[in-house]
Structure 1
Amino acid sequence: MNDQIQQAAPAANTQPEVHDQTEEHNEKVFTPLVRQFLDYLKLERHFSDYTIRSYGADLVQFGQFLAGMIGHPNDPPPAVPPSPEEIDRRKLACEPLTVREFLTYLYGQNYSKSTTARKLATLRSFYKFLMRRGLISVNPLSTIRTPKQEKRLPKCLDVEQVQKLLDTPGDGDILSARDKAILEVLYSSGIRVSELVELDMSDLDLQEGVLRVRGKGRRDRLAPIGSQAIRALQKYFEYRAAQSGGQPLTGRVFLNKHGGPLSTRSVRRKLDKYLAIAGLDPGISPHTLRHSFATHLLNNGADLRSVQELLGHQSISTTQIYTHLTTARMKEVYDSAHPRAASPTVPLQGGQPQQDQSQPKYYPAKAG
């Protein structure tokens, strides 16, 4: 088994995993097994870079716990951190009790149930990987239950709020036109912000009004966009063409002010800016526009299966969270669909319902 670990180790990984005790997105040096697992996620499972970074951060934290660097208040951390190979040996020897102690540590650090569940999911995937590689014979996660999470409805903007947000950037210069196009495309197509920043010019067919989107797991799909989003893109491209001296536009669709690819974090900062200008909830994120896209489609009669395809969800159960409707919409559907909904309320006289004289009396059938 140790030979297998040594074979998986890149030569450059000579520093212990525990050098960084925070969950900041700094560059981390992973242990051999963690590096092997992350390579598997990237090369075989085609996970996104963001997801791989999250898995890596979770496993670094778990390695720090196993190394005694965090989560053991009664024991001082070791003077010399364990080597990466030693941390991997502890992972291979991990027992359910150790995992439960790690979860106790997370609870003590006030992690939310959703974050704890995500970290637990990372460990499940990691130990399944080790099982498939024959490095362990018993999965220490097999008896660990995922904590029950609160069911929260996704935050959603109403149509008027969306309109107010989309009108905020304007298009008086290239950066304003770019930001307006970003917001229009996010709401018009419902794509993820990570999918938006990876759009290339070759992915756009404005004549047909569709985008080719590379989704999770490298699954491509076509996403339609509306006329207002198309006009916003065309205006932005006019500015870009003027800057390039009429040269054909290539590369990424959305560029930063230096001409490089725009990052997801930059999109979030731009959104925060326009939320403040428009006086809208500062807690709104780019993903809120995706929630709003799905909710407004359903509110206007789209079927769940179509919304699933548009969102790029692999399972329709993921899409069902968007089936929450406003009270007014539910009442409207009820009033139009239920055969008794439009009947007037029967007034009471002396505590008894008034008999409608125009209708024959109703006598219930005898049981028999």
Structure 2
Amino acid sequence: MTPFFISDFLNYLKVEKRYSDHTVIAYQGDLQEFFEFIQPVAIVEATHQLIRSFIYFLKEKNLENTTINRKISSLRAFYKWLEKRNEIKINPLSKTMLLKQPKRLPAFVHETDVKEQKIENIFENSGFENLRDRLMFELFYQTGMRLSELIELKVADIQGASVRILGKRNKERIVPVSPDLLSLINQYIKEREKLEVKSSCLLLKNDGNKLYTKLVYRKINYYLGILTNVEKKSPHVLRHTFATHLLNNGAGIEAIKSLLGHSDLRATQVYTHNTFGQLKNIYSQAHPRGRKI
């Protein structure tokens, strides 16, 4: 049985915060687990020490720090809500810090795996679905746009040799389009016109309706599975690949920041990693003994 305070909080998330069902369910699971752990102590009587005991309990279950941090964040939001409602006098999470997480480099695809010839070999050059799928793939790789940006991309956003992208918080950016990508866009638009649809979105399903997230994920996962052995396969991996290849070929970090639509340079600096091959080249060129490699 879910306690009243938790039920009320979940309703607040759904109605006032307009969180998705998926997010609300995640909160519910985290809070229910905590509620069961602290029994018979009441929710509003939880202490900082009890929170620490719960975190230790989660560690004992060999959960990753990312998972534990999500649960801590759920509890933080819940107790902050209780505090605002004057249900508690002291917030038991006021001094609780998130656990340190190892910094992971963004997954990306090597240049040899996305050469034009390799991509041409897996896509047919005719038919609406084939052209759409290739255009979807190329837009991710050649412009670095986000999944949400691709789904919302309009026909009118193709402006000559550039594409207008409406990003987070309605921040607009203009990204150049290569001649081959522009040619592919024009080919696709000709096929798209045969559908005789009124939708302003550029990329559509076979029935003329708007694309949805799972379809795009499934398509990109499939094509990346053919092209590369990279473990993680998603549209965001192609965004990482776009940024990494620009950086590896001499683009400045500020320019990459603008192309990605980042508001903070720190978000872009995560791409300043090097492949082993690059490090080997740098070492062999810069170190006196390295020239013998």
Fold match, TM over 0.5? yes
> Could you state the TM-score of these two structures normalised by the residue count of structure 1?
0.66
Matches within 5 A, 1:13-24: none
SS at structure 2 position matched to 1:309:
helix
Q: Return the alpha-carbon distance in structure 1 between the equivalents of residues 87 and 252 of structure 2.
A: 46
SS at structure 1 position matched to 2:115:
helix
Change (3 A) 1:118 1:253: farther
Matches within 5 A, 1:1-368: 31-39=7-15, 41-42=17-18, 52=20, 55-68=23-36, 91-131=43-83, 136-163=88-115, 166-167=119-120, 168-202=122-156, 204-215=157-168, 218-227=169-178, 228-244=180-196, 250-278=199-227, 280-281=229-230, 283-330=232-279, 341=286
Q: Which runs of 5+ in 2 are unaligned?
A: none
Measured after TM superposition, the shift of residue 129 of structure 1 is 5.0
Q: Which runs of 5+ in 1 are unaligned?
A: 1-15, 19-29, 43-48, 79-88, 347-368
1:304-330, Cα deviation, whole Å (9 max, x unpaired): 222223223332222211100224434
On the 8 A contact 2:246/2:256 being kept in 1, the answer is yes
Q: Return the alpha-carbon distance in structure 1 between the equivalents of residues 235 and 290 of structure 2.
A: 45
SS at structure 1 position matched to 2:164:
strand
- Aligned position for 1:83: none
Q: Choose between structure 1 and 2: higher helix proportion.
A: 2
Measured after TM superposition, the shift of residue 232 of structure 1 is 2.3
Q: Return the alpha-carbon distance in structure 1 between the equivalents of residues 7 and 290 of structure 2.
A: 71
RMSD: 3.4
On the 8 A contact 1:187/1:290 being kept in 2, the answer is yes
Q: Return the alpha-carbon distance in structure 2 between the equivalents of residues 301 and 120 of structure 1.
A: 41
Q: Return the alpha-carbon distance in structure 1 between the equivalents of residues 210 and 190 of structure 2.
A: 18
Q: Return the alpha-carbon distance in structure 2 between the equivalents of residues 171 and 105 of structure 1.
A: 56
On the 8 A contact 2:152/2:201 being kept in 1, the answer is yes
Give the partner amino acid of 1:111: L
SS at structure 2 position matched to 1:224:
strand
Tell me which structure has the larger Cα radius of gyration: 1
Change (3 A) 1:207 1:33: same
On the 8 A contact 1:62/1:102 being kept in 2, the answer is no
Greater relative contact order: 1 or 2 (C-alpha under 8 angstroms, separation 6 or more)? 2
1:100-120, Cα deviation, whole Å (9 max, x unpaired): 344345445543222322333
Q: How many residues align?
A: 286
Measured after TM superposition, the shift of residue 31 of structure 1 is 2.5
> Could you state the TM-score of these two structures normalised by the residue count of structure 2?
0.80
Measured after TM superposition, the shift of residue 233 of structure 1 is 2.2
SS at structure 2 position matched to 1:302:
coil
On the 8 A contact 2:30/2:74 being kept in 1, the answer is no
